[in-house]
Every structure is written in C-alpha cells, then in structure tokens.
Structure 1
Amino acid sequence: MSTTQSERLRELLEPLVSSQGLDLEEIEVDSVGRKRVLRVVVDSDAGADLDQIADVSRALSAKLDESDAMGEGEYTLEVGTPGAERELKEHRHYVRATDRLVKFQLGDGGELVARILSADDDGLDVEVPGVKGRRPTTRRLALADIAKARVQVEFNRKNKAEETQETQETEENAEEA
C-alpha cells in the first residue's frame, strides 16, 4: 500500500499541530516551475491568531528540516488559516460556522443560502432569510443531504441589536395595519 506525499506529511505534522492546540485542516504541495510550496492550513474552535500561526510555523519548519519528508530540493512553507469563504467538510467546520451565512449545494441538486443556527451530530438548524419583506424561516438540514457548503462573506450584516430593533419595528407595523 503506497501513501502519497500529502498523507506522509499529514502523519508527520498532525501530532505537532495538535500539540499546539490546533487542527490540521489541509496540506497541499504545489510545484511552480522548479520551486515547490508546502501549504499547511490550520484552525481551531477559537480561531488561530498570528502568534499561534508563527509558533506552529516554526515548529513545522524544524520538524521538516529534521526529516526527509520534502526531499532534497528547496521548498517554501506557508502556514495559514482556511480564510473567509472556507468550504465546510467536517462536522467541526459546521460548528465553527454557527451564526454564519452559508451557501449549500444539496444532494438533490438544489441550492440554499442560509444562516447556521446550530449544528449537532445529525444535522443543522438553519435560518433561510426572508425575501421581499417576508420573515426568515427555519429549516433542518441533514448532514447527509449536503453535497457541498461554503461560508459566504457578508459586508453589510446587521448586528444582533439592529436585527432585534428591525424585527420589533416590522411587528409593530404589522399590528398597526
């Protein structure tokens, strides 16, 4: 049974990343001309700050230097976090995306944009935004029904206080009418 370089790197580096209190999300080795780049993506429930990224980067660099996992040639090590529009693949990703807007590709071919309210082992409770003045609706999604999910960037999201105020005003206007 042969293992790929990424699998060997994961076996070598995952315990080190875990010891730093982070999860190893992704490993990618790219060749650009004669140069190679090893990209390592880490995260945690609380996120990862720059100091943690720097610490894990130094630890990974030292571990890679003492092993032959990357071979003899030169390479660049890049360590970072998943980014704003991360793809959600594992249960912990959905938990971390609670209260975020997500675009879901469903197994039946459908598509849905909704905010994750909560996540458990069986699925997600989501809020589908209302359209044209309608109220948002809640819906349950089974994890097995999700083919692909990606966090959406929100530039003009209202904070909780603004949402509560807007909901109260809408209800008051409905009662007056």
Structure 2
Amino acid sequence: MRQLAEQLKPIFEKMLQKEGFELFDIVFRKENRRWVLRIVIDNPTGYVSLKDCEFISSKIGEYLDSEDLITHSYVLEVSSPGLDRPLRGMPDYERFKGRLAKFWLNDGRVIVGRIKEVHEKSLTLESNGNDICFQADRVKRSRLEVEF
C-alpha cells in the first residue's frame, strides 16, 4: 500500500499548496485490523489549527470519495506535525531559529539547545550559556523541544 501513498503524494501536495499548506507526511497502512490513511500537514507561515485539519480532511475526503481510489474501508486522519515536530534540514532550522531543539548527531552525542545561527552548512546552538557549533551533515535526526 506504500504505492498508493506515493501515488497520492503529488496530488495532495498540489491540493494543500492551493490552500496554503504543505504535505509533511503521508502513510497508508494497516493498524489493528483496519486501514489508516494518515496525512500530516504543515503551515509554512504559522501553525496548523484543529479547524485547518478539519478543513483539509474534508477536502481530501471529498477527493478520495470522488476518485474511488481506495476500494476497501479505511480511516482518514489529518493532523499537524505536533509541538515536538521533527526538523527536516536547513529550511526548518532557519524557520525555527530561536526555538529549543534536540539534535542527535552521528557521533552519538545528543545536544539540546536553542537554534541561534543557521549557516549554509552549519548550525550554532546556545546550550547552557555556551555556543555549540557543528556541521549540519552530522545531524542524524532532530526535533523541536516542547517548552512550558
């Protein structure tokens, strides 16, 4: 069913772009004896509200019903990436400059700090009053940290 998700991806990207959103992720898989089409949307200029998810869910649901691409029953879920969203490279680092994030590096280190500077190929975080610089290609994965 990965093929279906790949088939739907460009269609939903275009649909979401028209509404001012981006497709963050799409997965279609069986979970607990039922099929789930999970679509994660993002707003490049702000946040994704519950109303946004409802609106996009309605749009996507209408499209899927009209095209009849999924022949069996399924559950459609539309959500945001969440408060502790994964960061996907330099554009996200730039977008979330000033925010607290956690970085897992290839050498096994884990660094939590505020994104201070984003350069062409490197990052600077402020962690416990110290600046920590590293090459972006050393990042294994990263995500925002929730702040209260």
Q: What band does the TM-score fall into relative to the shorter chain?
A: 0.7 to 0.9
Q: How many residues align?
A: 146
SS in 2 for 1:64: helix
- 1:113-138 superposed Cα distances (whole Å, 9 cap, x missing partner): 11112334423221012xxxxxx012
User: Could you tell me which residue of structure 1 aligns to residue 60 of structure 2?
Assistant: 60
CA RMSD of aligned residues (A): 1.9
Structure richer in strand, relative to its length: 2
- Structure 1, 49-58 or 8-17: larger mean CA deviation: 49-58
Structure 2 gap ranges (5+) = none
- 1:103-160 superposed Cα distances (whole Å, 9 cap, x missing partner): 111122222111112334423221012xxxxxx01233321111111222223xxxxx
Q: TM-score scaled to structure 2, two decimals? A: 0.86
How far the C-alpha of 1:42 sits from its partner, in A, is 0.6
User: Could you tell me which residue of structure 1 aligns to residue 18 of structure 2?
Assistant: 19
How far the C-alpha of 1:33 sits from its partner, in A, is 4.1
- Point out 4+ residue stretches in structure 1 off by more than 6 angstroms: none
Report 1:1-177 matches (<5 A): 4-45=3-44, 46-69=46-69, 71-129=70-128, 136-155=129-148
Q: Report sequence identity in percent.
A: 29
- 1:28-49 superposed Cα distances (whole Å, 9 cap, x missing partner): 1131344211110011231122
Report which of the two structures shows the higher radius of gyration computed on alpha carbons: 1
Q: TM-score scaled to structure 1, two decimals? A: 0.74
C-alpha separation between the residues in 2 aligned to 1:119 and 1:65?
Answer: 43
C-alpha separation between the residues in 1 aligned to 2:122 and 2:37?
Answer: 34
